[in-house]
Structure 1
Amino acid sequence: APMRAAKEQGRRFFVYVDETRPRLQGARLTSWELLQEGIDHAIITDGAAGHFLGRGEVDLVLVGADRIAANGDTANKIGTYGKAVVARENDVPFYVAAPTSTIDFTLATGAKIPIEERSPQEVLHLDGQPIAPKESPARNPAFDVTPAKYITGIITEFGIRKPSQLGLLNKPAAPRKKGTAKKSR
């Protein structure tokens, strides 16, 4: 939604899309969505993000989120944490775009977010063919947690908030004072 809104406002920009291994969601899904919106982009390997950040070719990093803790720690696809660290090192703002339904106010921090460990076969095989020695083990976490200190802002349907301001989104709506209800027409 943020990129669509920027395009509708006439802003010109280019998107680097990580392939998002091992299931290639970036190459398969994100690139397709960008094509549908007419947004210029190029698919890059997951490991190339630091290269482009370090060369000054990236002005802003925008990622999604699968779960956000009350303090702003954010779980997303594996590799997000590394991108956040490299973005900070290169003074590039790092934003998370997610609906408020992604925020879990019952978790104080991201330390308690469970991380799914997927099948090692996704790493050890490509198109059903082995690509590594049979004796080599593999680890395949699907997500990592980016600490809030690396996140510039979290974009929700209510606007952009710093991670430290997420608590404002957890407040119940204040009751209206008597006589201030909206009149129906």
Structure 2
Amino acid sequence: MWRSYDRVRPTVKTVAADDEHGSAWLSVRALEVLRDEAALAEDWDGVAGVARELLAARPSMAVVENRLNRVMSEADEHAPGAVERSAREGIASAVEADRAAAAVAADRIDGARICTLSRSGTVRAALELADPEAVLVAESRPGGEGIGVAESLATRHDVTLTSDAALAGQLAEFDADAVIVGADTILPDGRVLNKVGTYGLALAAVAHDLPCYVVAAADKIAPETDVEIEQAPTALYEGDADIAVANPLFEVTPADLCADVCTDRGTLDEADVADVAARHRSFREW
């Protein structure tokens, strides 16, 4: 059975190369890698080395860092078996945290007409719990993952797909009641790092007097304020002209544009976010 699993199990390389899934999903895969390698490791140094490789694999994803550091810091002894047990517990708690955050957000959008963009498993779970009247989804370039999201939601909901450029104007046409977005990272000061387009959507929500809810597990709160913005220049321009290309995959949205940050710990204000960030910094001490 192990030989069969070994051919398909997640690895440091697959975690590093994955550009199809969100950070919460990847954090669980990273914990699975750590669990498996801890089961194989002969000593603490070996498993600690794997943990460091995983931390370096996705440096911009705070939830990967936080969940890996928690598992390592909460292992009750410096031994591979302790890390394996801690990783198993970490996987279970990570899955439950995402569900709990979705439930908090669902209470705020139940039965409403909702707008969203990009792809977030936690947003998807919140929509399934809330059963909104209708959903407006932006295509979410670069990558266009909003198209797949719209298709997946269409089996249960009244869904409208629109372009990123038309999204602000479509809020009124669609008669939206609220906006809900996920977060790749929540910074210690409450700002939200998410797929590009989130900032513009949050501004449009304010202009239309709509609440913009952010939903994410508290493990997505970053220990520090440093932000690494990934770019996809060739997705915008591959010509020969001597021009600079700015095509970010993510952007930072100010905290004051977000009505609530919905997490597995309930809704958090800026002071709450700062407290969680401090706790996440303490996990680094392992």
The bucket for the TM-score relative to the shorter chain is 0.7 to 0.9
Residue deviations 1:116-143 (CA, integer Å, cap 9, x gap): 112x221237xxxxxxx64374321111
Alpha-carbon separation, structure 2, partners of 1:155 and 1:5: 14
2:230 to 104, 107, 116: 116
The CA deviation at 1:67 is 0.6
Shift of 1:83: 0.8
> 1:96 matched to which residue of 2?
214
* Counterpart in the other structure of 2:260: 153
Q: What pairs up with 1:40-119 in 2 under 5 angstroms?
A: 40-55=158-173, 57-107=175-225, 112-118=226-232
Over the aligned positions, Cα root-mean-square deviation in angstroms equals: 2.3
Task: Give 3-state SS (helix, strand or coil) of 1:58's partner.
Answer: coil
Structure 1 gaps, min length 5: 126-132, 173-185
CA distance 1:91–1:163, change in 2 (3 Å): farther
* Cα deviation, residue 52, structure 1: 1.9
Give TM-score scaled by structure 2 length. 0.49
**Structure 2 CA distance, aligned partners of 1:13 and 1:149?**
27
Structure 2 residue ranges without an equivalent (≥5): 1-124, 280-286
Give identity over the alignment, percent: 31
Shift of 1:54: 4.0
How far apart, in 1, do the equivalents of 2:223 and 2:139 lie?
31
Q: What TM-score do the two structures reach when normalised by structure 1?
A: 0.73
Larger relative helix fraction: 2
The runs of at least 4 aligned residues of structure 1 exceeding 4 Å deviation read 168-172
- Report the counterpart of residue 14 of structure 1 in structure 2: 134
Distance 1:26 1:66 in 2: 16
* Structure with a larger share of its residues in strand: 1
